[in-house]
Amino acid sequence: MKPSLHKKLLTIRERYESLKEALREPTITDDRNRFRDVSKEYSQLEPLVEKLAHYEGLIKHQEETESLLTDPDEELQQLAKQELKSIAQQLEQLEADLLLELLPKDPHDQNNIFLEIRAGTGGDEAAIFAGDLCRMYLRYAESQGFKVEALSESVGEKGGYKEIIMRILGQGAYSKFKFESGVHRVQRVPETEAQGRVHTSTCTIAVLPEVEEIETIDINPSDLRIDTFRASGAGGQHVQKTDSAIRITHLPTGTVVECQDERSQHKNRARALSLLKARILAQEQEKQRAQQAQTRRNLVGTGDRSERIRTYNYPQGRLTDHRINLTLYQLPQIMEGALGPVIDALSQEYHADLIAALEE
């Protein structure tokens, strides 16, 4: 293992030990958010730390076994050689596993997804192809033990779909489907084609992770500037003689709220803080919706034939994924839901790029 990678692993183990100590603190449960965050990070690091301990144990066992190669007992030497081969294989596998554990995790990998299929260029044939893709994804999802819910659909005039949106539920759904977004191109002879000519049509696929709605906002008190001032109002016996009105400024966003309805500064402060949270929450929810809309636009492109990520060539029984130059002559099986070889190849290429970046 490269020294730089081993150093990263040791740093992670130090972090794991510090989290373990934090979980032993009697007051950790007083702050629910901190307890949740520490527990989550601890459980995420635990498999890596266990693998590292196993790896170090094997290295020690390897050194002890190598010392037997000079033993005068030849039979013991042969046993040591066999054992060293086994250890080498285990170390190689563990190194690969540890490397994968070190790679940056996509925070949405375990999420459910929304799968959107839309007919692009090609008219009725594009809608029919959208139906074929829908069937392919349904069968693949079923093979993975995922549950599928149809949310909306617009049926094509001669079959298939102009558009269909599905929700796919299951742990790891996004990790399996996330490389499917883009323009899918089909080349085949349509059933309605009398001359037997091959036509090219397209569909656009968008895969969006299902994210939790933002329901609460945690505001750091240090991000607030609180000013008090004398409330305006009619004179007489009820005129304000104290600075009971409150103005709160949320410094990171520049959001300002005021409250002077109550005579009590304490009540005005509580109301102003409640209003501030509501406004910031509304801003964050709007930002989330805008990001999702932008993600969808980026994923699907325009649906033009030239923007393809994958081609399904029926006359040749060929599938080509243009992003990684993958060509498989298994199109009938793939259209029946056997997407594993395609998705595995895309995942491996993705991990190879991450590993190269990590080693640099």
What Cα–Cα distance (Å) separates residue 206 from each residue in 38, 115, 203, 227, 288? 34, 6, 10, 48, 17
pLDDT attached to residue 220: 87
Q: Which of 116-120, 123-127, 290-294 has the lowest mean pLDDT?
A: 290-294
pLDDT band at 300 (very low <50, low <70, confident <90, very high): low
Mean pLDDT for 93-119 is 86
Residue of higher predicted confidence among 115 and 296: 115
* 162-171 mean pLDDT: 93
Amino acid 135: pLDDT: 97
CATH number for the 221-291 domain, one of 2.60.120.10, 3.30.360.10, 3.60.140.10, 3.30.160.20?
3.30.160.20
**Which amino acid is present at 176?**
K
End-to-end CA distance of the chain: 14
Angstrom distance (rounded) from CA 160 to CA 136? 13
pLDDT at position 239: 46
Q: 26: which 2 tokens?
A: 């009697």
Stretch 242-246: mean pLDDT: 75
Answer with the residue of higher pLDDT: 285 or 238.
Answer: 285
Q: Which fold has domain 3-102?
A: Methane Monooxygenase Hydroxylase; Chain G, domain 1 (1.20.58)
For residues 41 and 56, what is the distance between their CA atoms, to the nearest angstrom? 23
Q: Is the pLDDT of residue 314 over 90?
A: yes
Strand positions, DSSP E, 216-254: 224-229, 245-250
Residue 96 has pLDDT above 90, yes or no: no
Q: Give the C-alpha separation, 119 to 128, whole Å.
A: 8
Kindly tell me if the per-residue pLDDT of 267 is higher than 70.
Answer: yes
- Residue limits of CATH 1.20.58 in the chain: 3-102
Please report which confidence band the pLDDT of residue 297 belongs to, taking 50, 70 and 90 as the band edges: low
- CB under 8 Å to 41, separation ≥6 — which residues? 19
Left if phi > 0, otherwise alpha if psi is -120 to 50, otherwise beta: which for 13? Answer: alpha
C-alpha span between 331 and 216 (Å, rounded)? 47
3 state SS of 112: coil
Q: What is the pLDDT of residue 262?
A: 61
Comparing 215 with 340, which gets the higher pLDDT? 340
Strand pairing report for 224-229 and 199-209 = unpaired
pLDDT digits (tens, 9 = 90+) for 81-92: 999 999 999 999
CATH fold, domain 113-213+302-359, is Alpha-Beta Plaits (3.30.70)
**Could you give the residue range(s) of every CATH 3.30.160.20 domain in the chain?**
221-291
Q: Where in the chain is the domain with CATH 3.30.70.1660?
A: 113-213+302-359
Residue 234 has pLDDT above 50, yes or no: no
Residues across the chain: 360
Residues contacting 131, CB < 8 A, separation 6+: 156, 159, 160, 161
Give the pair of three-digit tokens for residue 59: 């290295």
| Predicted TM-score (pTM) of this structure | 0.66
| DSSP class per residue in 83-96 | HHHHHHHHHHHHHH
Confidence check: pLDDT of 237 > 50: no
Q: Model confidence at 302, in pLDDT bands (50, 70, 90)? A: very low
pLDDT attached to residue 282: 72
